[in-house]
Structure 1
Amino acid sequence: MKIIKSTILAGALLLCCSLAAQQKPVYLDPNANIEKRVEDALSRMTLEEKVAMCHAQSKFSSAGVPRLGIPENWTSDGPHGIRAEVFWDQWNQAGWTNDSCIAFPALTCLAATWSPEMSALYGKVIGEEARYRNKNILLAPGVNIYRTPLNGRNFEYMGEDPFLASKMVVPYIHGVQSNGVAACVKHFALNNQEVDRHTVNVNVDDRTLYEIYLPAFKAAVQEGKAWAIMGAYNKYKGQWACHNQYLLNDILRDEWKFDGVVVSDWGGVSNTKEAIYHGLDMEFGTWTNGLSEGASNAYDNYYLAQPFLKLLKSGEVKEEEVDKKVRNILRMVFRTNMSANRTWGSFGTKEHALAGKKIAEEGIVLLQNKNNVLPIDLNKTKKIAVIGENAIKAMTVGGGSSSLKAKYEVSPLDGIKARVGSQAEVIYARGYVGEKGQKQDGLSAGDTFDSRSFQELLDEALKAAKEADVVLFVGGLNKNKHQDSEGDDRLGLGLPYEQDKIISELAKVNKNIVVVNVSGNAVAMPWVNEVASIVQVWYLGTEAGNAIASVLVGDVNPSGKLPFTFPVKLEDNGAHAMNEYPGVDNEVTYREGIFVGYRWADKEKIKPLFPFGHGLGYSTFAYGKVSADKKEMGINGQVTLSVNVKNTGSRDGAEIVQLYISDLKSSLPRPVKELKGFEKVFLKAGEEKTVSFTIDKEALSFFDADKHDWVAENGDFEALIGASSTDIKSKVSFSLK
């Protein structure tokens, strides 16, 4: 028996050696040129293995090639934290006990920091959380432009201005990808409403597309070097955005030279041949396959699964088409979970929670502060009344794909109580009751039921307000349907649950009322002149309550500024003024064109409730006169603009200095002004610094659709320095020759 075994073993070894000799060299060195590794792996794969990499194998993963040591790809939502593990074929949580993440502030808050440093920090820590959970594709960040304040998903994005979004998205991507995790920038493109999102066809002229809706994506690709892009649900030029010749092939691949992976949004694929030829690489979440009935071969029925393989085997589709897709997927794999430089990451740490708190504090915006009611002086304040459901309501659960299983979430009420301690009495009255919070993925927002009538709740709130030195009304929106939530848009600009009436009634009994608005969207404020202070606090995640409290009592001098315009009424917004929302018969036309947000308000001379770029602090800042280092700029030259800024207050603080450019005479209609620079500068009390911006012809250019190119015309320009889009401090003229 020993002889027989030895003979068999020897024969097996000879066979293995013979087969090995026939194999091409394997690029085992993880630092070898990625393109060589891609081609080597591709040459070893079977047709079936190639196709398997192009579609999902579970709710959030796609297949690798175990035979070749190529791992699976695992994706995760989302923009604000790493989603809990779910069952293989279900949205419901799998019941793990070690997947509770740190919830970071929503991206509207990040945009409101106007700080690329905070964006880099955000990307770093969320990337570390994704890496620790062994995700190699993070389905974030979102950079769709804020076209209407009714869009239920605006809270996931970075505001209305393409320049601000472009400058904020790049550091986020760098931070995420430094962990060996691909940032998957979404939703490309023109996903500006949730109403009819699966069916609407967007009609937009090329100039508007290139000037408003594409710049942040372009920056993500060319400056951020993003390794993945997610397609959108909507159509453009009659083609679904997830397999769209114009967006994915002509622009993304050919113009921008994107070399990463195009991932479908979940359920965004509609046709096999279009998906093959129009730029899609990986298909996720398709519901054409019997998955809801629990079919065992559900994923085989995806558009890019067996239907794709059948076309390849018949010769109707050439193998080079699948090779294109697999090259992109392999390139991303070698950059992420097969990278020798991939870190280990960390998850749910105190360090991450404090990073989220820092971002939240820098993003909170003080909109109004009459009589300096804020910060609350705890030496003079004996009783604080906290009123409003949002003071106790969890905001990390719900809202769609950004819903999280957070390790913890500090409510505004708990944060205020913890900070105030024994220095003052804090009393609470609910004030109003919204609908029961919607459960998502098996998690509840933890709402407490209250059966009292509106009048009973109001009476309790008024009693508390009368007794207090300061009233903090914590209201706004939440993550329920038709509020700040994926899948549905808001039904109007106003606050729900009769909050306007409650605020007005409270203002009658206490002049020191502070409205703390929790939302990711602009809201109407008919009571704006009745209250002392208004604070926009966004969805702040795990450390929400502590961040809010630190600003309210003055531990932190607020420095956030609005990343979008707050209109007085809905008709002050361009899309609604032109009656082009949400569209008719699944067609929506962006008739307002390039005049989005403050551009529309400037053009129509509309005074907003609060303008783009607005934000106050507990300090005051004096601006000197802006100067230019030259009066004339050549076509390949530059102009440096400088302005002195001084902190004239008694507190240290930060000011966001904004540069706008105005083209005084153009062959095409242009906005009155456009943001082309900003800097967040920290100044100690009494300190003065010089802030400088250097611009070139790019800052002066517009997109000429006829030439399909950016054009800078000879003529006169103005550089405007402001504290907001309406608070212009000084300006200087120069010309382009």
Structure 2
Amino acid sequence: MNMKLKTMLLGLSVMTALSAFAQKPVYLDTGKPIEERVKDALNRMTLEEKVKMIHAQSKFSSAGVPRLGIPEVWATDGPHGIRPEVLWDEWDQAGWTNDSCIAYPALTCLSATWNPEMSHLYGKSIGEEARYRKKDILLGPGVNIYRTPLNGRNFEYMGEDPYLSATMVVPYIKGVQENGVAACVKHYALNNQEFNRHTTNVQLSDRALYEIYLPAFKAAVQEGGTWSIMGSYNLYQGQHACHNKRLLKDILRDEWGFDGVVVSDWGGVHNTEQAIRNGMDLEFGSWTNGLSAGTRNAYDNYYLAFPYLKLIKEGKVGTKELDEKVINILRLIFRTSMDPYKPFGSLGSPEHGQAGRKIAEEGIVLLQNKNNVLPVDLNKTKKIAVIGENAIKMMTVGGGSSSLKVKYEISPLDGLKNRVGSQAEVVYARGYVGDPTGEYNGVKTGQDLKDDRSEDELLAEALQVAKDADYVIFFGGLNKSNHQDCEDSDRASLGLPYAQDRVISELAKVNKKLIVVNISGNAVAMPWVNDVPAIVQGWFLGSEAGTALASVLVGDTNPSGKLPFTFPAKLEDVGAHKLGEYPGNKEELAKSKHRGDTINETYHEDIFVGYRWADKEKIKPLFPFGHGLSYTTFVYGKPSADKKTMTADDTISFTVNVKNTGTREGQEVVQLYISDKKSSLPRPVKELKAFQKVRLAPGEEKEVTLTVDKKALSFFDDGKHEWVAEPGKFEAVIGSSSRDIRGIVSFELK
């Protein structure tokens, strides 16, 4: 080919390209508002293309429209890190070598920071990892309420209080979505147990629904602006939550104005017509029909796939709902993958590791510290005895869909050794054998924790190591195995597994400087609480677990975490168990012969969940909601209000001085609870309505101001179906926990 012809052809190709660019579809024009782009794209799609968009095409993706340049939607499990890649049509690992992530602390730990700044840091960091991995939807965070300490999935949620959960979820969402990744808040709604999670039909009052179980979801929509929400497995009012008209249409869309995508939990859809009409947008699942085993790669058989297309072609349903679903998905696509200004993200960076460590350190809770055993004084220490399987066991693998393949994980034992260095000898004894395995969905820890010694042999070794140590640190609690802190199963009891109570009790007899670190996402019974001087709630802390724990234990970091849920002394001190309905109606459970039988469960405790129940029944908890100690001390002044009366369209501010009277810097969480002194409906003794975390140097004093409005004084009236603030007398109860009250201010609502 001569040069002249080459030049002419090149010119033609350039002109063709420029012409094509000039005639680009309106939906690609980033200068146009998103709604115009959505409408234009929708008008160009065929019926078949629309139906393909609303159901999965692989384990974690749904189809785009290649003909129009509309990309696929890719989701990934969170909420504590970015799940490793699996095969297109199977749960087995894809075998990538570049999909290892940073594991962040479990959400119970995040909530325990009582610090919205930590929540934003968490969301921003995990969002950057999701964006780098080219994910459009992060399946998290979770905000289901902690109704019972037996729920295997509590570690993924933010505790028992609707106000705390609502406050902490909003910055997480904003941090994630700043990266052009949609947060998918889950599991909407009333998914408060894992036992019979597909067949439990929840029955409760509207008052409990609106006051306890919905506020965090509402805040996620109206304050956080979440771009997606995941339906839950359970039923409500006899209808599965993933196609529940009351939840998805009446409340989510009509009352709250949600304009994002409703994603099904995997296999959460059970009925085509209900999914069409009741607000489900995007169906994901595991097998042929989204739930049970079936033919490989049979996504066309999903409820919102060929069955839907067939109904349309037979004239049995119209396309109005289909267009609504596609519009929602297109809107999400333009907000995420087709946003030309989205950042690139980053994966496994040192900054992300440090973010995880910072959140972990701030969320660790010092539960008990008799005789100031903590922090460990390395200047006077020659030997530290570390006991317990949880000192060495990796906790990032297992637990269900939150299981991760991490770039690294520092164990508590290694973290302590790294920090102590040559200052003291650190010796280890197993103490107990729990779950020696280390694999979930093909991700392997590489640890071999098998130990055939008897319980007595393990105990004898632990006591021998402990008796002459300057400090004994027992790392125990739960793990991510079935019937512990794990998806798809609830715990068998409140007690510690693997005979740990015996080991702890015996260690307390041979060494008076015993520290118990409870690694869990749940409350546990502590029959030895009076015999152990120091107890630390260590959570599941992710990649930097050992570093963060060591920092708190030796005093580099002053603990400032507060409990986001109540530690009951015994299971009968929990309303859901005292009133006898968990895990469902006893007669129905006894008669049930098939796994798919629906079991009704009534929330008899109603609005009295967590500390609300303990206050009402005058029960002394093991450790109360909001509790957490420090290595310094704080003194509160007398609180005051800026006025004695307020009106319905007004606010009232409460001020209290807080002083650090100790010798080191620390942080305190000032908590404000509202008490309604006289109401036409039963109300809790008090309810959390404001809080602020304040940092103080030794001797420093700061003024803390907390403001509330009519909303903080209101209850939900079932009969009127509206929020009501009744005129009358109220109290602002200010404390360091729900039971450590430092001052009360009376005021009146006119």
TM-score by length of 1: 0.97
Task: Determine whether 1:706 maps to 2:719.
Answer: yes
Q: Which amino acid aligns with 2:441?
A: D
Query: How do residues 593-604 of structure 1 correspond to structure 2 at under 5 angstroms?
Result: 593-604=606-617
| Residue of structure 1 equivalent to 2:564 | 563
Aligned residue pairs total: 728
**1:656 corresponds to 2:657:** no
Cα distance in 1 between the residues matched to 2:333 and 2:73: 8
How far did residue 291 of structure 1 move? 9.5
Cα distance in 1 between the residues matched to 2:25 and 2:435: 63
Summarize the alignment of residues 278-289 of structure 1 with structure 2, pairs less than 5 Å apart. 278-289=278-289
Corresponding residue of 1:210: 210
Alpha-carbon separation, structure 2, partners of 1:31 and 1:510: 70
**Is the Cα–Cα contact under 8 Å of residues 268 and 291 in structure 2 kept in the other structure?**
no
For the Cα contact (< 8 Å) 1:291–1:298, is it kept in 2? Answer: no
Aligned equivalent of 2:736: 723
Contact 1:286–1:302 under 8 Å retained in 2: no
- Counterpart contact for 1:143–1:187, Cα < 8 Å: yes
Q: 1:101 to 1:442 in 2, by over 3 A?
A: same
Name 1:320's counterpart in structure 2: 320
Q: 2 CA distance for matches of 1:602 and 1:99?
A: 47
* Corresponding position of 2:592: none
Q: Report the alpha carbon displacement of residue 20 of structure 1 after superposing the two structures with TM.
A: 8.8
Q: State the shift of 1:635 in Å.
A: 1.3
Q: By how many angstroms is 1:394 displaced?
A: 0.4
Deviations 1:195-240 (A, max 9, x none): 0000010001100000000000000000000000000000001000
CA distance in structure 2 between the aligned counterparts of 1:83 and 1:547, rounded to whole angstroms: 23
The answer to whether the 8 A contact 2:126-2:176 is kept is yes
How far apart are 1:349 and its partner, in Å? 0.6
Contact 1:438-1:480 within 8 A present in 2 as well: no
Shift in Å, 1:294: 7.1
Deviation at 1:293, TM superposition (A): 7.1
1:733 counterpart SS class: strand
Does structure 1 retain, via aligned residues, the 8 Å contact 2:152–2:489?
Answer: yes
Is the Cα contact below 8 Å between 2:288 and 2:294 reproduced in 1?
no
TM-superposition CA deviations, 1:586-610 (whole Å, max 9, x none): 1100000000000000000000000
Conserved? CA contact 2:644–2:746, under 8 Å: yes
Partner of 2:249: 249
| Deviation sequence 1:693-718 (CA, Å, 0-9, x none) | 11111110000111111000010000
Tell me, what secondary structure is at the counterpart of 2:433?
coil
Task: Report deviation, 1:29.
Answer: 2.1
Letter in 2 for 1:454: E
SS of equivalent residue, structure 2 residue 440: coil
| Structure 2: gaps spanning 5 or more residues | 589-598
Partner of 1:480: 481
State how far apart, in whole Å, the 2-side matches of 1:292 and 1:84 are: 23
Residue 395 of structure 1 and its aligned partner are, at CA, apart by 0.1
- Mapped to 2, the partners of 1:438 and 1:380 lie a distance apart of 37
State whether residues 701 and 713 of structure 1, in contact with CA within 8 Å, keep that contact through their aligned partners in structure 2.
yes
Q: Equivalent residue for 2:369?
A: 369
- Corresponding residue for residue 640 of structure 1: 653
Residue 201 of structure 1 corresponds to: 201
1:225 alignment partner AA: G
The aligned counterpart of 2:134 is 134
- Give the corresponding residue for 2:622: 609
Match of 1:271 in 2: 271
CA deviation map 1:401-442 (0-9, x unaligned): 000001010000000000000000000000000133352111
- Within a 5 Å distance, the mapping from 1:313-462 to structure 2 comes to 313-437=313-437, 439-445=439-445, 446-462=447-463
One-letter code aligned to 2:207: R
**1:226 matched to 2:218:** no
Counterpart in 2 of 1:108?
108
- Is 1:70 matched with 2:83? no
What is the aligned-residue identity percentage? 72
> What SS does the aligned partner of 2:344 have?
coil
* In 2, Cα distance between equivalents of 1:458 and 1:297: 51
Give, in angstroms, the shift of residue 89 of structure 1. Answer: 1.1
> Is 1:540 the equivalent of 2:547?
no
Tell me which residue corresponds to 1:674: 687
The answer for the alignment partner of 2:125 in structure 1 is: 125
Mind listing any 5+ residue stretches in structure 1 that lack a counterpart?
A: none
Counterpart-to-counterpart distance in 1, 2:264 and 2:613: 33
Equivalent-residue separation in structure 1 for 2:630 and 2:293 (angstroms)? 56
Counterpart-to-counterpart distance in 2, 1:286 and 1:435: 27
**Deviation string, structure 1 residues 8-53 (Cα, Å, up to 9, x no partner):** x9xx99xx99x999x9962432242000000000000011110000
* Mapped partners of 1:467, 1:31: distance in 2: 73
Instruction: Tell me the alpha carbon deviations over residues 502-535 of structure 1, each in whole angstroms, 9 at most, x when there is no partner.
Output: 1000000001000000000000000000011000
Structure 1 residues 237, 294: CA separation in 2 closer, same or farther (over 3 Å shift)?
A: closer
CA contact (8 A) 1:269 1:286 kept: no
The one-letter code of the counterpart of 2:516 is V
Amino acid at match of 1:355: A
Structure 2 partner of 1:505: 506
Which whole-Å CA distance do the structure 2 matches of 1:31 and 1:523 have between them? 55
Distance 1:290 1:596 in 2: 34
| Cα distance change on mapping 1:402 and 1:530 into 2, 3 Å | same
1:25, 1:441 → 2: CA distance? 42
Counterpart of 1:136, as a letter, is: D
Secondary structure of the 2:378 match is: coil
In structure 2, the residue corresponding to 1:467 is in which secondary structure?
coil
- Rounded to whole Å, the distance in 2 between the matches of 1:674 and 1:437 is 43
